[in-house]
Amino acid sequence: MVIAAPTPTHLEKRGWVLDKLRPLFTKAVQTLECGACVAAVNGVKDVAKINKGWVSSVAKELCPSLAKFPADVCNGIVDLYGPVVIDIIMKADISGGDGKIICHAVGGICPAPAITSGTLTFPKPKPVNAAPPAHSGNQVDVLHLSDWHVDELYTPGSDAVCNRPTCCRKYTDSPTTFTRAAASWGDYNCDTPVKLTQDLLKHVPTVANVSFAIMTGDVPPHDIWHETKETVDPIEAHAYSVMASLPAKIYPTVGNHESGPASLFPTPSSGGDNSWLYASLADDWSRWLPADAVNSVKNYGAYTVSPTPGFRIISLNTNFCYSTNFYLYADTHDYDPHGEIQWLISQLQAAEDAGERVWIISHVGPSMADCLQNWSALYYQVIQRYSPHVIAEQFYGHTHRDEFALFYGPGSKNTQNAISTAWIGPSVTPFTGLNPGFRVYKVDTKSWNVFDSQTYIANLDQAASWDASGSSPNWHLEYSARKAYGAYVPIADNAPLSASWWHNVTMVFEKNDAAFQQYWTYRGKSANLQGDCAAGSTCQTELICNLRAGKSSDACTPSKINGHKKRHDEADDVEDPSGLHSLYKRADPQTWDKKLCGLSF
């Protein structure tokens, strides 16, 4: 007689899954080895084939110990991201190479795969001796806002040093005695209080006669464990209504936090639907955009607009290159989701034919390590084809820092070959140890080139004294790029801050430590909380390399994430030009484990 084996109980099944996945996850997080990461992803796929719910259940159990998060954060992240991540892993060919691609792009663990996106074909060849137009000599002020990250739950007097990704809120387990109480104007560990955004907008007209503004993305806060359509929609609507107090049009772009859950933007290959987001943004932005641009936003967030004859702004949704957009791994050979690169080419060709000058604005910069390399390589070809005669400037956000990146024509990275500058705007949010800030550009009205970049900040270390005295933030000019770096690389009055000039500035950084340290200070918006980056150090070498890396495959980043072994004085954030390291430079030692749980800018 055959005796049937007993059916495993739920607890026995759960125990089997936990025993299978715990060592895989633990080894991947502790060793940060490529093979260990791929094995962990493969383990998820194996278990998900049996029961997807088991994967989520085990992830919730392991997250607090591996990621050092409270249970509510872990549960929220798993509930929001788990279903998407599991479905995408089920579609991916993990053993066939997708596992290494995922582990490199999301975790920075495996070596970068070969770039396979190929060579683009353009409608017309680049004109011989293509050159930008002459300058008019007339300049206007243009405001650059970025990474708003307003927190409507910000609570003055709450704990500013907490056990969650973002602090300055009332949590159910908040202690009664704090390390530091949050000032009403903000804190370096926290996102932006509403009153700080309102005060910033009141100050802007006192220092600039703004012709128009660009806003390079990220309105909601960093509470990704409960960012959903229902939570982000009203935050964005309110924030854009606050921005509307500025007496000038604002041309926005889509940040990774605009979506709920954050960073998840479906593609035609992946399934999923973000039409609610694009419809909502189209409505929020309709106060500034014409009808044709509003209709374009409804497709996937990109649009083009002409603020004045002869000048065009193209707003891209670069979340389709963003490494933490898990939808991208449903088809790793879909190098141009939604055909956005091809759409960009069509817009630039039309601009070339019409003799227009173009600005490209977006959130995640193609130079950043968290922009997928295949997409970035295609984009770089577009910049080479249409610069410098069509594309006047590029503008991004995302890192929260005051930075730039350079693009070059075919051949060497030298002064003669530098063709385009990516201006990476400072954040409004102080989150990650930075002073809140904004930029004002002095721009020629014919060439639409930048003649000066002026960064304004408020010294948030004085926030408690503002509260005590009943005063407001001390918004002030931190520096003028033309004046600060023109002292090292002289520039004629009638010349813009060109890519060639910026390349020469980076050459000075290599030889003149005083100049480099000045840049290092300004990069952190003079908060002086980013540690040291000494002359001759790997930190300095990698940072200067990243300034010359217009495409992500040129970024000087290590093959493995080892930031979890470092502390503040080692300036570990420069290993990742996306700025993700800086997310973890906090009073607590939690570091890259957070990225492995999906937390990102």
Q: What share of the chain is helix, strand, coil (3-state, %, to 5)?
A: 45, 15, 45
96: exposed, middle or buried (Cβ count in 10 Å: 0-12, 13-18, 19+): exposed
pLDDT tens digits for 333-376? 999 999 999 999 999 999 999 999 999 999 999 999 999 999 99
Q: What is the pLDDT of residue 54?
A: 87
For 406, list phi and psi in degrees, rounded to 5.
Answer: -115, 145
The two most distant CA atoms of the chain are separated, in Å, by: 98
> For residue 24, what are its two tokens?
């895989």
pLDDT tens digits for 361-372? 999 999 999 999
- Considering the domain 140-529, what is its CATH architecture? 4-Layer Sandwich (3.60)
Look up the pTM and report it. 0.92
- pLDDT(325) > 60: yes
- Considering the domain 14-107, what is its CATH architecture? Orthogonal Bundle (1.10)
DSSP track, 509-549 = HHH-HHHHHHHHHHHTTT---S----TTSHHHHHHHHHHT-
Query: What is the C-alpha to C-alpha distance for residues 431 and 435, in angstroms, rounded to an integer?
Result: 8
Average pLDDT, the chain: 90
Going from N- to C-terminal start, the domains of the chain cover 14-107, 140-529
Over range 184-196, report the average pLDDT.
98
Q: What is the pLDDT of residue 20?
A: 81
Q: Would strands 249-252 and 210-215 be described as parallel, antiparallel, or unpaired?
A: parallel
Query: What is the C-alpha to C-alpha distance for residues 533 and 42, in angstroms, rounded to an integer?
Result: 39
Over range 167-193, report the average pLDDT.
93
pLDDT tens digits for 208-253? 999 999 999 999 999 999 999 999 999 999 999 999 999 999 999 9
Lowest mean pLDDT among 1-5, 78-82, 215-219, 429-433: 1-5
Residues in CB range of 141: below 8 A, 6 or more apart? 208, 209, 210, 211, 440, 441, 442, 443
Q: What is the pLDDT of residue 12?
A: 61
Closest by CA position to 429, among listed 161, 239, 151, 204: 151
Q: What is the pLDDT of residue 106?
A: 86
Over range 71-82, report the average pLDDT.
95
Q: Does residue 261 have a cis peptide bond before it, meaning omega lies within 30 degrees of 0?
A: yes
DSSP track, 395-443 = EE-SS-S-EEEEEE-SS--STTTEEEEEEEPPPSS-TTT---EEEEEEE
pLDDT tens digits for 542-557? 999 999 999 999 998 7
Residues in CB range of 8: below 8 A, 6 or more apart? 16
Q: What is the pLDDT of residue 25?
A: 85
pLDDT tens digits for 21-68? 889 988 988 889 999 999 999 999 999 998 898 899 889 988 898 888
- pLDDT(578) > 90: no
Over range 379-385, report the average pLDDT.
98
SS3 279: helix
Q: Let me know: does 198 contact 154? Beta carbons within 8 Å.
A: no
